[in-house]
Amino acid sequence: MAKAPPRTVLITGCSSGIGLRMAVQLAQDPSKRFHVIATMRDLRKKDKLEAAAGDTLNKTLSIQRLDVCSDESVAECINSLPEKRLDVLVNNAGVGLVGPVESISIDDMKRVFETNFFGAIRMIKAVLPEMKRRQRGHIVVISSVMGLQGVPFNDVYAASKFAMEGFCESLAVQLLKFNIFISLVEPGPVNTEFEMKLMEEVARSEFPGADAATVRYFKEIYLPASHEIFTTMGQTPEYVAKASSTSA
């Protein structure tokens, strides 16, 4: 029996964290079942991925630029694939936003939705025509437990994840007709550089527009508790990547 060709897997947001670890885990598959296209918005941040990829680089793993917020960037990346064929899409790219809602501008809220919600939809729209034509495909969305349950001071981030959950649950039913499957991965706290950097930034913020009592509640109660949860109970990116990789 002829050996099946490797499945092409495209992952967004691979400069660090879950995306990086998932790309490397799939590329290092002993049976070489996958060819991974690891993408990121800024290729100047590819050094960590290249180091982690080791000898899989340019063999079972290749790196490409892709900005999920740009129609042109998405089209350029998908059009570069042979016959635009993609077996598995992993929507991992995302941004966070924490703080009192009164202090968050509408533009910042839109930025979160542009990446977390519309960015994922932009990717799905780009790959669906070819997946439907072949009657085969798998879409994995790295969501969050906050897509199921809101958390104080994460109002906008949680809303973007709730929106993604509703979109995917609705679309999944339609796609069964075409033998295309959607998997939602909903990790809890994940101890990543992304989370720690976000916490450090918000700790230094003044939050104009929010009343003193709310800012005090946020800084003196929420932030210490959140930091404790992430450092003591947070999952590792490797663990989440391993669980997510089983979906691919």
- Residues with a catalytic annotation lie at 157
User: Residue 180: CB partners within 8 Å, gap ≥ 6?
Assistant: 128, 131, 132, 135, 136, 137, 138, 139
What is the dihedral sign for C-alpha 98, 91, 179, 34? negative
DSSP 8-state symbol, 228: H
- Determine contact, residues 164/122, Cβ cutoff 8 Å: no
Neighbours of 125 (CB within 10 A): 12
Element (H, E) at 8: strand 7-11
